[in-house]
A and B are shown apart, each in its own frame.
Chain A
Amino acid sequence: METAIISGKGGTGKSSISAAFAILSENVVLADCDVDAANLHILFNPKIEDEKVYVAGKTAVIDYDLCTDCGLCMNYCRFDAIHGINGKIVIEEVSCDGCRLCERVCPVEAITMEENNSSRMYSGSFRGGKMVFGRLAPGEENSGKLVNMVRAKAKEMAKENKIQQIIIDGPPGIGCAVISAISGVDRVIIVTEPSLSGMHDLKRAVEIALKFNLNPWVIINKYDLNIDVTDEIEKYCHHAGLRFAGKLRFDPVMVDAMVNCKSIPEWAPYSDLSKDLKAIWEAIESKSS
């Protein structure tokens, strides 16, 4: 069973809730697919057993000994990444998409591609089972591909260790990394918060889930910060035929748990928040089989 937890809007508590569900499942492969900002390893301090280089893409590089400044590459580039500056052809690294068209059109073979290879994927064991996480080096792209690699590794570890449950902590937004995180999973949980922004982003996240034929579960975190918007979200879920999993109150214990490098059920097992999390997870588990 592969479960992806996403949110559209960042900061709704997606990672804290993923961590809680991972601990509640008892034996799990936890895949941190928020590769731009992987955080679960901070809570779980896994024992790293394997490290792999992830090639995030390629960037074009000009050999100025060969370049004749003809500008052909500039005319072909559709990413606006090549400019003529004082008669010299310059590649703007941050805009280069690595499509290699410039390399192919160059009449004097002055362009080569360099691999961006400072991103990593780590995997190992933690107190709840196995864990995989990606770390995209600052400024590198193609996070969707790294998400695919993390998910493939998670599946492999689940098979090897005979673990049934894979929990994916997804990235924010609804772009390439999210698409990679949810395509082909068994279920999606969207964590939202009762704000106008949260609700707006929830709707976009629901649309992307539906596009992949997934009927998402919805959790409202910090519901008591705005009861009116919470009601509105519940109504929306009802009308849209979504499965409402439950709501969680705002409780600083969520932050305390994080500061102490624990998941909520580990840090405050008898708190109302932990009880509610358990009830929500059990409800999702019982209705998805």
Chain B
Amino acid sequence: MTKGGTLKIAVASGKGGTGKTFVSTNLFHTLEKKGYRVTITDCDAEAPNVMGFFNPEKDWQEEVTHQVPVIDTEKCVFCGKCYEYCEYQAIFYLPEMKIIKVMEDLCQGCGACTYACEYGAITEKAVSLGLVSGYKSAEKTRFIEARTNIGVMSPVSLIKKAISKIDPETEIAIFDAPPGTSCPFIQTAVRADFVLLVTEPTPFGLSDLRQSIETLKQLKKPCGVIVNRAGLGDKEVYSYLSQEAIPLMLEIPFSREIAAGYTSGQIVCKTMPALEDQLYSVFLKITQEYGNSNYQR
């Protein structure tokens, strides 16, 4: 990152439910309390849960749309070129019966059919993919949420929009990343300076962590790992991390107290100051390597 710009940290996990949102919301709370100008962006647009922990006040919202074709059957000569150009099988075409239809759910809005049509039979209309909303609480803290409409195939354009809306004045931007290692995760990770991966010490956790780390290596993104629910499961994750020379940033022990607090929508840091100190140390470790000294308070 550049000096004085926004330091962008993505909190991610290959496997779902490892405590990613637990870490992102508590890290946000910790940094807010230290007086940073901080924005948290919920990029888990299929299952956005960050706002529920803060109940901030809504500031603005923007609808994200894409352009879907509309075929004028009066002008259409049933040549089939649009059908041939569509890589998503979103055009249903039966020439002998003079039937041609757009299947909007499959359309990715690429515009190839519009380009293909030589008879001016295709126009386009905007179809909503979801909402990107901005929220605020205190003077320096901001929240952005990407939320897909039910039935929308890909959250990628919502994620891009949400991240583009981060105020340049923001010192620290935290991204709550979508799970998995496919397009939604990648579109979030490529926009971050550092990826903080949250895992649990179980065979499933490790298998998914490997997948995430391999993906981040391809993207050449620096990352570190938080082992959540330490004490459950086995020790394999630690040997994997040392073998791959990936920094272990923090271990959070399994406790029913943390689980119970989180399940009722609380910011656990508020009642466990030790966790706050630990998350702050994680943040300082990240800034020392990827930020600049301005970030220390």
Contacts and interface: CB of A to CB of B under 8 A. Distances in A.
A228 B264 CA distance: 9
Interface stretch (A82-90, A151-159, A253-261, A265-273): A253-261
B265 A196 contact: yes
B215 A138 contact: yes
Contacts of B256: 225
| Most central of A10, A98, A172 by chain B CB within 10 Å | A10
Contacts, number: 189
B46 A204 contact: yes
A286 B18 CA distance: 34
Given A196-B264, A259-B202, A207 B152 contact: no
B281 interface: no
Contacts of A174: 46-47, 148, 150
Contacts of A255: 202, 232-233
Interface in B39-73: 46-47, 49, 52-53, 66-67
Contact of B153 (A94, A144, A200, A261): A144
| Most central of B46, B181, B186, B232 by chain A CB within 10 Å | B46
B182 A97 contact: no
Nearest to B212: A138
B195 to A, nearest CB: 13
A175 interface: yes
Given A12-B17, A174-B150, A105 B110 contact: no
Interface string B188-227: 0010000000000011100110011011001100000000
A78 B65 CA distance: 12
A138 B111 CA distance: 28
B52 A196 contact: yes
A80 interface: yes
B50 to A, nearest CB: 9
B37 interface: no
Given A10-B17, A11-B18, A204 B47 contact: yes
B134 interface: no
B151 interface: yes
A234 interface: no
A67 interface: no
A17 to B, nearest CB: 13
Contacts of A207: 150
Interface string A190-210: 000111111011001001100
Contacts of A79: 110
Nearest to B66: A78
A172 B150 contact: no
Interface string A168-192: 0001111110110000000000000
Interface string B154-184: 1100001000000000000000001111111
A173 B21 contact: no
Contacts of B233: 255, 258-259
A287 to B, nearest CB: 26
Nearest to A226: B263
Contacts of B259: 222, 225, 250
A80 B154 CA distance: 15
Given A11-B18, A37-B15, A141 B182 contact: yes
Q: Which 6 A-B pairs have the closest CB atoms?
A: A10-B16, A11-B17, A36-B180, A99-B110, A173-B46, A195-B263
10 contacts: A15-B204, A36-B14, A37-B15, A42-B203, A76-B115, A101-B115, A175-B153, A178-B46, A195-B263, A197-B21
Interface of A: 7-12, 15, 36-37, 39, 42-43, 58, 76, 78-80, 94-95, 97-101, 104-105, 136, 138-141, 143-144, 171-176, 178-179, 193-198, 200-201, 204, 207-208, 211, 222, 225-226, 228-229, 250, 252, 255, 258-259, 261
Given A8-B47, A100-B85, A178-B46, 19 more contacts: A9-B17, A10-B47, A11-B17, A39-B204, A39-B207, A42-B207, A78-B110, A94-B219, A104-B85, A139-B181, A179-B153, A194-B263, A200-B52, A201-B49, A211-B151, A228-B264, A255-B233, A258-B233, A261-B203
